[in-house]
Chains A and B, each alone.
Chain A
Amino acid sequence: MHQLHQEITVTVDGISYERAVEPRTLLVHFLREDLGKVGTVVGCDTSNCGACTVLVNGQSTKSCSMLAVQADGAEVTTIQGVSDGNEWHPVQSAFKECHGLQCGYCTPGMVMSSIDLLNENPNPSEEEIREGLEGNLCRCTGYHNIVKSVQRAAEMMEGAK
């Protein structure tokens, strides 16, 4: 089977990994099973839920809809790489402050999508936040506090400039 594997080099959360993977391996399975990056989770098998969202070269990407071999040479940021040490990313802080999570399963994807959303649009309206997070499903919060979290993060990031 090994000859079917393909060598890839992927930087994940600042560390460069060289691995041989089956070409059919999804990026999310590569992250979870080959690298032990289990902060990124799988919520569906139809690319609807967005729980597995990561940043690939800075763009939010559902890691279930990309093959690991397609990430060859890319820089991937997961929920485990958005803050270093004790310093929380403003989006993480805002989600805690505004109670933007309950069970927390959608949270890794929700945070990564929110980071990308705010990178592209630092001052989104409520409608723009809702549309921007359309690809991330949450079953616990009804989105009310998620929207508030993103609004709060926008304030905090504005303030940080």
Chain B
Amino acid sequence: MTEVVDVGTALGRPIKRKEDARLLHGQTNWTDNIQLPGTVHMAILRSPFAHATITKLDISGALAMPNVVAAFGAAELGDLNASVPCVWPVTDDMVAPDFPALAKDKVRHVGDAVAVVVASDARSAADALEAIVVDYEPLDAVIDMEKAISPDSTYVHDDKGTNTCYVYNLGGGYDEKVKEADVVVKRRFINQRLIPVFMEPRSVVAAPMGMSDEITLWSSTQVPHILRLLLALVTGVPENNLRVVAPDVGGGFGGKLQIYREEILALQLARKMGRPVKWTETRSEDMVATHHGRDQIQDIEIAAKSDGTLVGLKVDLIANMGAFLQIITPGVPLLGMFMYPGIYKMGAYDFKCTGVFTNTTPTDAYRGAGRPEATYAIERIMDELAAELGMEPMELRKKNWIKHEEFPYTTIAGLTYDTGNYELATARALELFDYDGLRAEQKQRRDSGDKVQLGIGISTFTEMCGLAPSRTLGALKYVAGGWEHCTVRVLPTGKVEVITGTSPHGQGHETAWSQIASSILGIPVEDIEVVHSDTGRAPYGMDTYGSRSLAVGGQAIKAASERLIEKAAVIAAHQLECSTSDLEYINGVFQVKGDPEKAQPLGAVAFEAFTAHNLPDGVEPTLSAEATIDPQDFSYPHGTHLAAMEVDTETGKVTLRKYVCVDDVGIQVNPMIVEGQVHGGLAQGIGQALYEGAFYDQDGQPLNANMSSYLVPGAPDLPMFITDTTCTPSTTNPLGTKGVGEAGAIASTPAIINGVVDALRHLGVNDVAMPATPMTVWKTIQAAQGGK
């Protein structure tokens, strides 16, 4: 058989992105750019109350407004009022309330959808909302998670008789093991609620296409394939009639890993009205109606010997579900469950999570989804344990982490980490950071009583990527698999289509996937088109989330490309009148070994496969190959992140002076894109530590649900980052890749807060709440000083 030669010209190079030309010239196809003839526009009336009974809903006023075509409450919508599904029933007895597209008798969070108006233009639809009459009878709002699960609480869903969604337990050996410990440290961390704030607001267009019974739905989504399936299931639209397209999508970060009520409404109204229906959210709508992330109370207990050897870890979470369950709301904390032990060896691990309903916007995946929360907890409490033991925090980590010669290593949480080298990444990070120099400066500032104190924050993290092996997902009661698909086609002209099931929204798949295919096919990157995000053109896929696209989807591209060369070799051998074992494949050309004059480029083979005039017996026309890959296991990127934090003890102002991270993401396809992913993740993780947080008052009114007061970091808020990588190739996929989409967001939050606490520990501070705003830091210092 022909040897498949990795020409290696494209893989691993920082090739400039194919996507950029259209993005830089305003020629991008955002969903909101789609303007089909005859389109009508939806506007949605949203609840101003967190919890209320709807005693009257009269839409007639809206119908009398100019340009209004139709209006619907739940009653008018009738059977078309389908429900938003949850696909991850984490326990057999999980409480799963109905989540109708339009609220029926009650509203359960500010922003809950009450009615929809359809007009010939978006502004008229918005105007007409004001003509709808709704009478609300406000009810007590359930906001505080601990109060929600106390016996006398109001219920978010009174038919359920509880605000507890589920209780999940893992482990059980901690209480026995802790008897061996010399030191036990307990902390409560609040992992605050965040809003994804992707830059492109959500948008959807649903249109009957007039051809057969097809309805096409364009949506700003990360998951067109999953969306198609779920829309078909909940609306009854035959799956074969539904085409879902995610055109250019402007960011997601988990926030567009969802099936949203507005997508259901647009589809249902397009069917009912027989014309295109469009909806684009305003940013203020986005901030109450797009799912939120994080929002956990974390009670953490860590036990160790006096020499620092870890004995065990106990985690007791309360996780806010919000008012309803969306696609994987209950599963998010469980993705974190596996990661609380981090990179450390220990003898016992108990985990408990209580999922709780409140009258708030539903939560779901946001960059890292459970893993940032877990990493924050373990990396924060490692610093607290180090302080308790009087150890250097990095020394405590070194004493307990899995040594590079110990891989593969099965953790106390049951995961088998395939590869890693924490020593190497840490050594490189310490060098880049000037760790010893900064420690010396820190001491000098402490000794001199400088009003600006310096702290060093450490985070030595790992995460599980490449979601995921289907069997594992099944064992966790997730109702779908984690495979990925690719079809590679060589067209008669020699151009190549790589048809992937991944669905990019900023990650540069068009470039990176071309590089993978190019490295195997020997075809230049510019002659390869990556087809994605359209269930009509790329019918099989599991989409993009959980840092899975390269680790899983990349394997499929590699396998399909290799299979294509196998088929092409048979045709080429026939054309060259030799056996396939006589051929070698170099830079896109089949050559007879030792006789390079006898050669056939892949394009010529493809043309032969197209005309089919002279194919060998038993070979089918056309040149394509496909692969559907189910990974054998997760992959485990890791890294060492270091932050130098300056804290003005008089004002509480925190300044990030220097940030160094060394990440091991395995083999890199495009280092430029990898570095960019790290930068963006860092910004979001730093955002959680210092700036961001979505807050409600006791009545459930959002306090900062707009872009003016929810502080997405701006350019002046961040420094240049110092990044580097080490590489231990993953052994769970043949490309050796690990995943990088979430690393920065996971690792940076604890590094920042550890740095802030480190700057202030000598003042009696042992925790600082997030976001560490000047007021919070100042108050924390005051409280610690007053307590002395």
Contacts and interface: CB of A to CB of B under 8 A. Distances in A.
A126 B679 CA distance: 17
Interface string B394-413: 00000000000000000000
B714 A134 contact: yes
Contacts of A131: 715-716
A151 to B, nearest CB: 11
Interface stretch (A55-63, A65-73, A90-98): A90-98
B787 interface: no
Nearest to A135: B714
Contacts of A10: none
B250 A103 contact: yes
Interface string A131-161: 1011011111111111100000000000000
Given A105-B199, A137-B199, A143 B718 contact: yes
Given A39-B26, A40-B26, A131-B716, A104 B684 contact: no
Interface residues of A, number: 57
Contacts of B707: 44-46, 48-49, 137
Given A51-B199, A103-B251, A133-B715, A92 B24 contact: yes
A99 B17 contact: yes
A127 B256 CA distance: 33
Contacts of A143: 679, 683, 714-715, 718
Interface string B679-692: 11111100000000
Nearest to A51: B199
Given A108-B26, A142-B718, A49 B283 contact: yes
Best-surrounded residue of B30, B200, B706 (most CB of chain A within 10 A) = B200
Contact of A140 (B27, B35, B506, B721): B506
A145 B676 contact: yes
A96 B741 CA distance: 20
A111 B25 CA distance: 10
A125 interface: no
A16 interface: no
Nearest to A78: B26
Contact of B199 (A43, A83, A96): A43
A101 interface: yes
A50 to B, nearest CB: 9
A107 B21 CA distance: 11
A46 B24 contact: no
B364 interface: no
B33 interface: yes
Interface in B664-688: 672-673, 675-677, 679-684
B17 A1 contact: no
Interface string B733-750: 000000000001000000
Contact of B248 (A104, A111, A136): A104
B200 A105 contact: yes
Contact of B507 (A22, A36, A43, A102): A102
Contact of B24 (A96, A129, A147): A96
Interface in B130-165: none
Contacts of B681: 142
Best-surrounded residue of A78, A96, A99 (most CB of chain B within 10 A) = A99
A103 B715 contact: no
A96 B16 contact: yes
A150 B673 CA distance: 18
A96 B20 contact: yes
Contact of B715 (A48, A80, A147): A147
B448 interface: no
A1 B720 CA distance: 53
Given A102-B506, A103-B505, A139-B684, A79 B26 contact: yes
A17 interface: no
A129 B253 contact: no
A115 interface: no
A118 interface: no
Interface string B546-579: 0000000000000000000000000000000000
Interface in A1-56: 1, 22, 29, 32-33, 36-46, 48-49, 51
Nearest to A37: B26
B444 interface: no
A80 B23 CA distance: 10
Interface in B11-53: 16-17, 19-21, 23-28, 30, 32-33, 35
A38 B720 contact: no
B131 to A, nearest CB: 16
Given A41-B32, A45-B282, A108-B26, A99 B682 contact: no
Contacts of B248: 104
Contact of A139 (B23, B680, B721): B680
B277 to A, nearest CB: 17
B201 interface: yes
A42 B199 CA distance: 9
A131 B715 CA distance: 7
B720 A101 contact: no
Contacts of A96: 16-17, 20-21, 24
Given A38-B33, A105-B200, A131-B716, A141 B23 contact: no
A95 B21 CA distance: 10
A41 B200 contact: yes
A63 B103 CA distance: 35
Interface string B694-709: 0000000000001110
A42 B201 contact: yes
A101 B284 contact: no
A126 B721 CA distance: 13
Best-surrounded residue of A49, A92, A103 (most CB of chain B within 10 A) = A103
A44 B286 CA distance: 9
Best-surrounded residue of A45, A101, A140, A141 (most CB of chain B within 10 A) = A140
A139 B679 contact: no
Nearest to B121: A33
A101 B508 CA distance: 10
B66 interface: yes
A142 B679 contact: yes
Contacts of A41: 30, 32, 200, 250
B673 A79 contact: no
A142 B383 CA distance: 27
- 5 closest A-B pairs by beta carbon, nearest first, are A39-B26, A105-B250, A103-B506, A104-B23, A142-B683
23 contacts: A38-B30, A41-B32, A43-B199, A45-B282, A51-B199, A78-B26, A79-B24, A96-B17, A99-B17, A101-B24, A102-B507, A102-B676, A103-B251, A105-B198, A134-B714, A137-B714, A138-B199, A140-B199, A140-B506, A143-B679, A143-B683, A143-B718, A145-B679
Given A29-B123, A41-B32, A131-B716, 7 more contacts: A42-B32, A43-B283, A80-B27, A107-B23, A139-B197, A144-B679, A145-B679
Interface of A: 1, 22, 29, 32-33, 36-46, 48-49, 51, 78-80, 83, 88, 92, 95-97, 99, 101-108, 111, 126-127, 129-131, 133-134, 136-147
